[in-house]
Amino acid sequence: MSASPVVPHHIAIVMDGNGRWAKRRFLPRLAGHKQGVDSLRRCVRACAERGVGVLTVFAFSSENWNRPADEVSGLMELLALALGREVPQLKKDGVRLHFVGERDSLSPKVRDGLGQAEAATADNTRLVLNVCFNYGGRWDIAQAAASLAARGEPITEASLHSAMGLAHVPDPDLVIRTGGEMRISNFLLWQSAYSEFFFSDRLWPDFDESALDEAIDAFSRRERRFGKTSEQILSAHPDPMPG
């Protein structure tokens, strides 16, 4: 009888491929983003059911402002609609929302929506859902350093980590990127230093429960050494069932 796969506590996902999904169907790019919201809803539910404690997703990067203006405005409208529609169910399902990213450049309406969603789910404990919105890994490191400097605090690995946008959760165990690309695109540069990576050819709207299970299974078969040798890992965690 095979052992159950080891479920990562924190999964992070670059949700890539919405535009290509729409293009293949001769649909506007925004239709792919709408389908991507449905995929995220399934993924949140699946992570909660499998015992994942933290899910972090890359929803809108600081570089995405360079996309066509109609796509950017459509994404902002989609975010507002999704918040109004999804937050009540997330609250009911025990999901706590955090939005990570630079908010000053967002409209007051969007900023208020993010804050209200966080407040509405603040008491939930089943799953933490971090939505990286107007986020970049380099921005995160720079803002953390600037914050420490403004307070006159020394800049060390520990202090930088505590000033990061994801200081409220452990670093991701597994980083997934969909869409067939094999790069991290300025996502969690600091936090993913020792993460396992899984690249899926599926476009994000097609990423379902079976795809998530495939990534978790691949993760569970890897040896995480954190700079140590295999022998050190084995001696620290001997197999309780020899044979």
Q: What percent of the chain has pLDDT over 90?
A: 69
Least confident of 50-64, 66-80, 89-103: 66-80
| pLDDT at residue 177 greater than cutoff 70 | yes
Are the C-beta atoms of residues 174 and 215 closer than 8 Å to each other?
yes
Are the C-beta atoms of residues 57 and 40 closer than 8 Å to each other?
yes
The mean per-residue pLDDT over the stretch 180-191 comes to 96
pLDDT band at 98 (very low <50, low <70, confident <90, very high): very high
Are the C-beta atoms of residues 21 and 203 closer than 8 Å to each other?
yes
237: helix, strand or coil? coil
Least confident of 1-5, 13-17, 192-196, 202-206: 1-5
For residue 218, count CB atoms less than 10 angstroms from its CB and return exposed for 0-12, middle for 13-18, buried for 19 or more: middle
| pLDDT at residue 236 greater than cutoff 70 | no
Maximum mean pLDDT: which of 32-36, 64-68, 69-73 = 32-36
Model confidence over 213-235: pLDDT tens digits? 999 999 999 876 555 555 554 56
pLDDT band at 174 (very low <50, low <70, confident <90, very high): very high
Average model confidence (pLDDT) across the chain? 89
Sequence length of the chain is 243
Catalytic residue numbers read 16, 64
The more confidently predicted of residues 215 and 29 is: 215
pLDDT band at 207 (very low <50, low <70, confident <90, very high): very high
Q: Report which residue type is found at 99.
A: F
Of 136, 26, 44, 127, nearest to 82 by C-alpha is 44
